Structure 1
Amino acid sequence: MPQFFTNKRLIILLGSIIVLVALIGFSQRDRENISWPEQFVKDIVGLGQAIVSKPANGVSGFFADVENLRNTYKENEKLKAQLDQLAQLESDVARLEKDNQELRNVVDKEKSLADYDPINATVIARNPDRWYDVITIDQGQASGIEPNMAVVTGEGLIGKVKSTSKFTSTVQLLSAHDPKNRVSAVIQGKKSVYGLIEGYDKDKGTLKMTKIPYNAKVEKGVTVTTSGLGGVFPKGLIIGKVKKLVPDQFGLTQTALIEPAAKYYDLEHVIISKRNMVSVKPAKEERKQVLLEGEGM
């Protein structure tokens, strides 16, 4: 009896395998319509997959979004840093180009100056309330700087040393409002015309050259330089060009409006002229003019 049940079980098992293989083969055939058991099984499996996959996809998408957000934040930080570096690089390039041009002008200027020893300096301070009056430079008594020395840029004269300390100096600009701020100047031409630079018109951006003889003929655009007759400033430092000539209210002298060669607003690199010859003995016809001008008084 036990042997019979054993064989029966074996027969059932083999039959089940045959049926299963037959069903698998039947289900794999290309058919337009599938049987209802297959439909039922597929629907159940599909429903289970949908129930499981939606939360799984949602969780997976959430972590993916978080990761993308982190990557975006990091990339944004890198781009910001690069933009900051780009802005700094652009600023450095502009500054270096400006410094290069100024230094080239300084070198060219030094080559053309034979009557004084140039001392290079950098502007280190400037009071906004006195922007057009004074600047502070990084050279002082230790470099041989003394009051009344002329200060120029590559374009032309900007002022003179007013006071000094051990390592710094205060420079008074030509545009400063100071009645004692005078410079003996000469208008170049076939016949030199002498006068005094005293005063600056901020609205027009011009210097005033006074004490010009009433009968002097001066053309527009003629260069104005230092005369060198006062014994303080070297001769030949460019001040600017004549823009206009107007008579004074009494008609005894004329005043020339001078367009400055140098820019007083934007100053970084300057040169102090350490004059080799302290005084110059003027010619007889110029002696009276020098006494009248009293440069630096």
Structure 2
Amino acid sequence: MLKLFKLFNNKRLFILLITLVLFIVVMGFSLGTRKGLSWPENFVRDTTGFVQNLFYKPAGYVAGLFQDISHLDELSEENEQLKIMMAQYTRNMAQYNFIKAQNEQYQKDLHFTKEQEELYNYEYHIANVVSVTTEPSNHTLVIDLGSRNGIKVNMAVTSVKGLVGVISQVSQFTSTVKLMTMMDDNDPNSQPPIAATALNKEGKSFGMIESYDQETGMLMMNKIPVGDPIVKGDTVISSGIGGLYPRGMIIGTVEDVKVGEFGLTSTAIVKPSAEFQDWKDLFVVFTAADAEESAGK
């Protein structure tokens, strides 16, 4: 019995020693430098990688989908902001262009009034067009100046380019302008004729702007005496004779000069300088007497 017990103890000791030796060998083998993995390690690693790959890719796709959706919301918001900014930019540019054009027009107006004032000492009151009537028998327009501004009937009205017409009716706040296109020497109710001369030929040239040809758009300067030096290309201006129209108002340019039927007078075909459309700023001409009377009110 004692021998068996000893033998059993020796076997346990032997197994323990064998296990310890194997453990040391395995540890040494695991910790040592190796060029490759063992087949169990390869099997475990490949299996684990395959399973992880099955779950990782779909999870990555789902996460990427939610991330893209989040980015779409951000892009949509940015797009809306850009649209608003573009609309604001367009509006600001339109306002800038309008103000710029208005400023340039005022610069032209200021230059015109200074130039004319130095030449003939007139006073110009700027007016805006309220309405336009284009009926053939009543070609008139309404401006936003009236009697409270010192406006009176028969005052001359001009644009930067040339004479437009005369004041025909006046109310407290507005006035009606009868245009030169209404001039007709056979109609006593039309705009009064204009005593005219040629620029730089004052005192040598004379005629009367009496009518407007509706078909050709030309003014007729009649009663030009024989030997008058007026020729094609001359600038026609008001002479100031008669007192109705201030002198020096630009009327138009001579297109042609034709001798009358009996050779006693000539007629000049004059192209108006003013454009009777697309109205912008107009000026009511105040002579020195008109200006003093208006200031005294």
* TM-score for the superposition, normalised by structure 1: 0.73
* Alignment deviations for residues 83-142 of structure 1 (CA, whole Å, 9 cap, x no partner): 22213312321222122212221222222223x5x2412223232635993222222111
Q: Is the 8 A contact 2:146 2:175 kept in 1?
A: yes
Q: 1:109 to 1:263 in 2, by over 3 A?
A: farther
Question: What residue is the counterpart of 2:78 in the other structure?
Answer: 71
Does structure 1 conserve the Cα–Cα contact (< 8 Å) formed by 2:222 and 2:267? yes
Does residue 48 of structure 2 align to residue 37 of structure 1? no
Measured against aligned partners, the alpha-carbon deviations of 1:28-87 in whole angstroms (never above 9, x if no partner) come to 988599702101001101111112222222122122112212211221221122122213
Change (3 A) 1:165 1:75: same
Q: Which of 168, 188, 197 is 1:186 aligned to?
A: 197
Q: Which residue of 1 aligns with 2:240?
A: 228
Once the two structures are TM-superposed, the CA of residue 251 in structure 1 deviates from its matched residue by: 5.0
Bigger CA radius of gyration:
2
Which of residues 189, 196, 200 is equivalent to 2:212? 200
Q: Which residue of 2 aligns with 1:121?
A: 126
**Alignment equivalent of 1:247, drawn from 239, 243, 259:** 259
- Contact kept, 8 Å, 2:113 with 2:124, in 1: the verdict is no
Question: Displacement of 1:164 after TM fit?
Answer: 0.5
Partner of residue 159, structure 2: 153
* 1:104-115 → structure 2 map (5 Å cutoff): 104-114=111-121
Mind listing any 5+ residue stretches in structure 2 that lack a counterpart? Answer: 1-19, 291-297
RMSD: 3.3
For 2:281, the equivalent position in structure 1 comes to 269
Question: What amino acid sits opposite 2:126 in the alignment?
Answer: A
Provide the secondary structure at the position in 2 that maps to 1:126.
strand
Aligned-partner Cα distance in 2 for 1:102–1:51: 75
Query: What's 2:61 paired with?
Result: 54
Higher relative contact order (CA 8 A, sep 6+): 1
> Which is further off, 251-260 or 45-54?
251-260
Counterpart selection for 2:142 from 133, 136, 139: 136
Counterpart CA distance in 2 for 1:43 and 1:203 is 95
CA contact (8 A) 2:204 2:228 kept: no
Structure 1 position 201, deviation (Å): 4.1
Contact 2:167 2:175 in 1 (8 A): yes
Task: Provide the secondary structure at the position in 2 that maps to 1:166.
Answer: coil
Quick one: structure 1 residues 164 and 29, their matched pair in 2 at CA, closer, same or farther if it must change by over 3 Å? farther
Give the TM-score, by structure 2 length. Answer: 0.73
Say whether the 8 Å CA contact 1:245–1:257 is kept in structure 2: yes
Q: Is the 8 A contact 2:206 2:228 kept in 1?
A: no
| Match for residue 172 of structure 2 among 161, 166, 169 | 166
Between stretches 249-258 and 165-174, larger displacement belongs to 249-258
